[in-house]
Amino acid sequence: MGDEPRWLSEQEMRAWTGFLTAGALVERRVEQQLKEESGLSHTQYEILVRLSAAPDGALRMTELAEALLNSKSGLTYQITQLEKAGLTERRSCPTDVRGVFAVLTEAGRKRLEAAAPGHVAVVREALIDVLTPEQLAVLADGLGEVARRLRE
């Protein structure tokens, strides 16, 4: 009796499928806008955002991978692509021979500044401005709780 799965109710199924569908469609729209207007993937844009917010525009590769919920190999690939475009560079850590920093270049900062207005516009169009302030608050609280629990 106790081994019976807890099947989703109609409302729970609606929430789950709504989350999956909306997440995929928003991601697709954001990815498309960034590629067309900036030549960046969403992941690359987020890397530039994280680096721009960091002291001296630099973060350890391991910290950056954790912040982006990305594998080290996936991040290495993205940083290599950004390096080829002159938007980031890698620097060795002076106090730890194994430590490598990803560093935002001036060109990377300029590309981010140019990409940000279009990015925020599509985020507003696809998600933020579609919802009421009450819906946004519930979404932020609910998804924040999901993220908090999964990180534990």
Scanning the structure block, which residue is given the tokens 């991978």?
Answer: 65
Q: What is the pLDDT of residues 17-75, one digit of tens each?
A: 999 999 999 999 999 999 999 999 999 999 999 999 999 999 999 999 999 988 888 89
Does the pTM surpass 0.85? The reply is yes
Indicate the domain borders of the chain: 14-151
Q: Is the pLDDT of residue 140 over 70?
A: yes
Scanning the structure block, which residue is given the tokens 């996936």?
Answer: 74
> What's 14-151's CATH class?
mainly alpha
Supply the pLDDT for residue 73.
Answer: 86
Q: What is the pLDDT of residues 73-91, one digit of tens each?
A: 889 999 999 999 999 999 9
Supply the pLDDT for residue 2.
Answer: 67
Q: Is the pLDDT of residue 136 over 70?
A: yes
